[in-house]
Amino acid sequence: MKMKDIIEKNILFVEGKDECYFFNYFHKYLGLSGIQVIDCEGTGNFKTKLQLYVQSDAFKTVKTVGFIRDADSNAENAFASLRKIIKETSDIRYLPVPKKPSEIISDKGLKLGVFIMPNNSGAGMLESLCIETIKNEPVYECVDKFINCFTRLFTEEEKEKFREHKSRIQSYLATRIPIAKSIADGAQKKYWNFDHEGFSEINKFVTELFS
Amino acid sequence: MKYQSIMIEGFRGITSLEIKDLKRINLLVGRNNCGKTSILEAIFLLSGMSNPQLAVNIHNFRNLILTNDEDFNYMFNNMNFNNLINISGHIEGKQRKLKISPIYETYKADNGSQKEIITGQNVLNSSYVSTVQVVEGVSLDFTTHNNKNFKNEIRIKESKLKLSSDYKEELHCSYLNPVTSLNVNEKQMEKLLVQKDLSKIIEVLKGVEPKISDIRMGAKGMVFVDIGEDKFYPVNIMGDGMRRILNILASISDMKNGVLLIDEFETGLHYSSLKVAWKAVLSACEKYNVQIITTSHSYECIGALSKSYAEMDPDGDNIRLYRIDKDGENHKAYMYNSKLIESGIKDVIEVR
């Protein structure tokens, strides 16, 4: 049985499988290596996953810990929630606790930072960031029209549940040849321009944290 | 009665270690030589603190025969008698403490009687003080929550035990090590059969040997099993797994309201039998109100405990896993509660 364990000195906790693949492509694109991206399987599992990995034997070799999660409706709340988890886990095994997003702190041989998607403020997610980088492409007008067209047919309940940013990304990826199935698949197929200004904040964070 | 916490200082390789929030079933894991067995030994000494003989017995469990009092240094951190041993624990809010220290030779004549006073010229020949201190045994100073202090001693060379006559131990504790725990204890077995738990035990043993249908005690205290052949077989010729489970269950019923320490739970058990073994142990511990503190190296063993417990008590939090590790000079017990163990097992994350 292959056990999941810490195998690198640099760890990046992300909230889902898609983010896990995405940031694997992202950090390699930035020319960084030796970073293990760990899928926390949802924001609700950050605490459990962090405690499991932080208590493991291999964690003693870790030098850098990064966290990237979505702001969802509010970046401030998302950061506060993650900060609380880091603080509680620090009672088990010491972790430096940042005071604000993107702050990288080093203490007792450990470097730690938190980034809230898309840009450490407001609402949104990884998809919001990617949308920023494609919204000026001609094809995005078609995506806009498509979204506006079918959302007119929604009931109030459907409008409530609709996840617009995810839908926009799926629609955009459907215009690519070959089609990409997910945001991570899009990264693998190089459909996201990581040099775009929209990625500059996350680019700066990942580079500063892991360099 | 069950331990809620344990504190160990200066015992064997452990400079300092605290284990908190112990529950009904407690699994100690960690790399080789991290001190798991030493922890069990320390708890055993604390549980039987009025019995100094245990200071010798714990070495016998490791096949170490103490031949003189200097050998007691095996118990002391860095094998140095200056590092005094302090072991304490809380049981239902009440603290018990044990301090183990060496007994040094007192000044006496070669023949054991008091020496004569040296005078005159002979003083010049005796004008030195020896700095070599000979250890003559160990002293066990212990106390319970009522703060009364007791003192026992054990001296190997003099073959002497000095006991506190006015202390009555109320805690039952037994220690199963990988070697001795394969020998079925007839007295415990008899007790188990008297409890009318036979059908349940047979059901558990079927998980190891599907053909088993009956267990009987022989006239000379031997235990026999019926495996569908034309005669009963002595349990001692059966496989290790069956003897191991029988012995653990018999020990649990014998330790009613007490603590059972098991070194390497999985010894003798095939991974496919671990779940059935844990289920039986969990129910027996509930029935007899026994706390288990055990060691393991096996991921299957941890998984079997977690899955058995989740099936029997999905909302409960009565199992703990402690990964023992060195944190600088001191040891540290990283604690995993029931849900954390379950998540680790589900996601196949290394917890050992």
Mark the ranges of chain B whose per-residue pLDDT is less than 50. 109, 113
CA A76 to CA B181: how far, in whole Å?
57
Q: Which residues contact B120 (CB under 8 A, 6 or more apart)?
A: none
Question: What is the dihedral sign for C-alpha B216, B222, B223, B225?
Answer: negative
Amino acid making up residue A204: K
CB A40 within 8 A of CB A49: yes
CB A130 within 8 A of CB A192: yes
- Quote the pLDDT of residue B221: 75
Reading the block at residue B10, the tokens are 């200066």
> Which of A5, A48, A55 is facing B323, going by the closest CB pair?
A55
- Quote the pLDDT of residue A46: 95
Mark the ranges of chain A whose per-residue pLDDT is less than 70. none
CA A5 to CA A15: how far, in whole Å?
17
Sheet holding B330-336, edge to edge: B173-176, B259-262, B291-295, B25-29, B319-327, B330-336
For chain A, the straight-line distance linking the first and the last C-alpha, in angstroms and rounded, comes to 33
- Quote the pLDDT of residue B291: 97
Question: Could you please report the per-residue DSSP string of chain A?
Answer: -PPB---SSEEEEESSHHHHHHHHHHHHHTT--SEEEEE-SSGGGHHHHHHHHHTSGGGGG--EEEEEEE-BT-HHHHHHHHHHHHHHHHTTS-----SSTT--EEETTEEEEEEEETTSSSSB-HHHHHHHHHTTSHHHHHHHHHHHHHHTT--HHHHHH--HHHHHHHHHHHTSSSPPSSHHHHHHTT-S-TTSGGGHHHHHHHHHHH-
Q: Which residues contact A186 (CB under 8 A, 6 or more apart)?
A: A130, A169, A173, A176, A180, A192
CB B274 within 8 A of CB B301: yes
Give percent of chain B with pLDDT exceeding 70: 92
**Residue B199 CA: distances (Å) to CA of B206, B221, B278:** 11, 20, 17
Count A/B contacts: CB-CB distance under 8 Å.
50
**For testing the chain A interface, which of B271, B302, B331, B347 should be mutated: the one with the most A CBs within 10 Å?**
B347
- Quote the pLDDT of residue B271: 84
Instruction: Quote ipTM for the complex.
Output: 0.81
> Which of A52, A92, A93 is facing B349, going by the closest CB pair?
A52
Interchain contact, B349 vs A53, CB within 8 Å: yes
CB A74 within 8 A of CB A123: yes
**For testing the chain B interface, which of A52, A88, A91 should be mutated: the one with the most B CBs within 10 Å?**
A52
Phi-psi region of A37 (alpha: psi -120 to 50; beta: other; left: phi over 0): beta
- Quote the pLDDT of residue B117: 61
Reading the block at residue A68, the tokens are 């990237």
- Quote the pLDDT of residue B23: 97
- Quote the pLDDT of residue B181: 67
Helical axes B338-346 vs B299-312, angle rounded to 10°:
120
CA B322 to CA B326: how far, in whole Å?
13
Phi, psi of B109 (to 5 degrees): -80, 165
Alpha helical stretches, state H, B26-183: 36-47, 54-60, 122-125
Interchain contact, A3 vs B343, CB within 8 Å: no
Question: Quick one: DSSP state of residue B99?
Answer: E
CA A205 to CA B4: how far, in whole Å?
44
Residue A48: list chain B partners with CB under 8 A: 339-340, 343
Residue A5: list chain B partners with CB under 8 A: 349-350
Residue A55: list chain B partners with CB under 8 A: 323, 334-336, 351
How many other CB atoms are there within 10 angstroms of residue B142's CB atom? 22
- Quote the pLDDT of residue B194: 78
> Which of A1, A2, A52 is facing B344, going by the closest CB pair?
A52
Interchain contact, B339 vs A56, CB within 8 Å: no
- A74-101 pLDDT, tens digit per residue, is 999 999 999 999 999 999 999 999 999 9
- Quote the pLDDT of residue B120: 64
- State yes or no: cis peptide before A178, omega within 30 of 0: yes
- B22-33 pLDDT, tens digit per residue, is 999 999 999 988
Interchain contact, B350 vs A57, CB within 8 Å: yes
What average pLDDT does chain A have? 95
CA B307 to CA B23: how far, in whole Å?
17
> Which of B30, B343, B350 is facing A3, going by the closest CB pair?
B350
Interchain contact, A55 vs B347, CB within 8 Å: no
